[in-house]
Amino acid sequence: MFETMNRYSHPLPSVDPEKHKLFVELALQQGVDPHNPWVGGYVEYEWTHLRELLRGYGISVDGQSVLEFGCNYGASAIVLHHLGARVTAVDVDADKVELARANAHRYGADGITFRVVEAGAPLPLEAEQFDLVTCNSVLEYVDARLLRSTLLELDRVLRPKGILLITGTSSRLWPREIHTGSWLANYRPQFVDRLTGREPMRGVSPFKIRAVLGNRYHDVDVDDGGEAWLRARASVRGASKPPQAAVMLAAAARALHIGPGWLAPHISATMVKVADSRQVAPSIS
């Protein structure tokens, strides 16, 4: 999967006008604004973000079996489909899955398999079924009590030597929660929620994610000192160089011998599932 890609230079297919009308009608029926950039414009966003992230790492999904966990309105799944992947997209929200399917239709991505799944329940998928599992801005929405079992389910359906890509996930290390912009919500103890009856949006601890995955996964960003991560940051920005803040973060991560994406406000990690958990996967050039 780490190779030169041909499909990355293709343009995003245009929207079918008639199917776009059906998408808009369904969104309005659900009480969702179809003109919101995180609804109707989300595919274009991911075309310049997820696609460029994969390009930066040199990951080709052409012909690969991919699970998009937490598909939301289908943007990432649609991008992966147009990059040549055989995509299964799942979410716990039936309305979002329905709208994601309509979204896929308007982009001509009719080959995506969409499924509604139950939070915390075993995925209705075969073991070792996928070459790539993507979690794009979703793990922070998983109930903290279900995070471990959820990650273990993703591990179950990923093939040995397959890639687990976590990206866009709000990190609890940072004082400002990235989705809401709320200061110090990440640091608020959960017992305060019980006292106030309010539960603010929080990020997820990157160290908790990494601890669950354990030695079954090899962090590729450690191999090259974060160079692929930095290329991806530059590629997403459409720049020749990554931002200076990312360079400094990568330097700190090298000193700690971890991938820089584990320290970022948006957790971003690319990991390979090792064939034997007693072995460390070889470096990928």
pLDDT tens-place string over residues 197-237: 898 999 999 999 999 999 999 999 999 999 999 999 999 98
Any domain includes 210: yes
- Using 50, 70 and 90 to split pLDDT, how confident is the model at 279? very low
Give the domain CATH number at 197. Answer: 3.40.50.150
Burial class of residue 151 in the structure, from the number of CB atoms within 10 Å of its CB (0-12 exposed, 13-18 middle, 19+ buried) = buried
Indicate yes or no: pTM above 0.95: no
Any domain includes 152: yes
Number of domains comprising the chain: 1
Any domain includes 23: no
Rg (CA), the chain: 19
The pLDDT tens digits for 229-263 are 999 999 998 899 999 999 999 999 999 999 999 99
The pLDDT tens digits for 28-72 are 999 999 999 999 999 999 999 999 999 999 999 999 999 999 999
Residues in CB range of 102: below 8 A, 6 or more apart: 19, 22, 23, 26, 27
Any domain includes 151: yes
Is a pLDDT exceeding 60 seen at residue 81? Answer: yes
| Ranges assigned E (strand) in the chain | 65-69, 86-91, 113-116, 130-136, 158-170, 217-219, 266-273
Any domain includes 33: no
Any domain includes 3: no
Any domain includes 57: yes
Buried b (16+ CB within 10 A) or exposed e, 200-234: eebbbbbeebbebbeebbbbbbbbbbbebbbbbbb
Closest CA to 210 of 146, 151, 160, 122: 151
User: Residue 216 carries which DSSP code?
Assistant: G
The range of the structural domain enclosing residue 173 comes to 41-273
Any domain includes 54: yes
